[in-house]
Amino acid sequence: MSVIRVTKEFAFETAHALWNYDGPCRNVHGHSYKLFVTVSGVTVKDTENPKNGMVIDFGDLKKIVSNKVVSVFDHAVVINMVEKEKIEALDKMFGNVLVVDYQPTCENLVADIADRIKPHLPVNTYLHNLRLYETATSYAEWFADDNK
C-alpha cells in the first residue's frame, strides 16, 4: 500500500489592502494568485469503483476548490478592520468585498484556504500542502504536518 500525492493548480484574481501596514500594500491592490493544492491518500483498489486507481478524481478536487476557494476569492476585495456601516459603501464601490477576521497577507490567506478545503475532501484523502503564489516570485506554503 503506497501513499500517493496528487496536485492541481488553480488561478484567481484578488485585491486586498493591509490595515495599518507601513508600506505600499496598505493601499488596495491586486494580485494574480496561483494556488497549488496537494492531497495525499491511497489509491482506490476496487475494479467495480469508477474511481479505481485514483487518490481523488481531479474533477472532484476541482469542484471542491472552485466552490470553496476560487468562487469566494476571485475578483474580490479582501479586507479586515472595517466598521459595519462602511461595508455597504465598500460593496457599492467594489462589488465583491470579503471581510475577514485576519490581516489578508499571503500567509494568512493560505491558512484560511486550508481550512476551507479540508472538511470537503473525500474519506481517506488528506490535504497535504498548499502553495499560494502572490506574485511570480513570492509564495506562502501550508503543510499539514506543520499544523497538527
Q: Where are the domains of the chain?
A: 3-147
Q: 19, 38, 36: which is closest to 28 by C-alpha?
A: 19
pLDDT per position as a tens digit, 111-125: 999 999 999 999 999
pLDDT per position as a tens digit, 19-30: 899 999 999 999
DSSP states of 97-138: EEE-SS---HHHHHHHHHHHHGGGSPTTEEEEEEEEEEETTE
Residue 80 CA to residue 61 CA, distance in Å, equals 29
pLDDT band at 7 (very low <50, low <70, confident <90, very high): very high
- The fold for domain 3-147 equals Tetrahydropterin Synthase; Chain A (3.30.479)
Cα distances from 127 to residues 23, 47, 48, 65, in angstroms, run: 34, 25, 26, 12
pTM greater than 0.85 (yes/no)? yes
- More confident call, 25 vs 58: 58
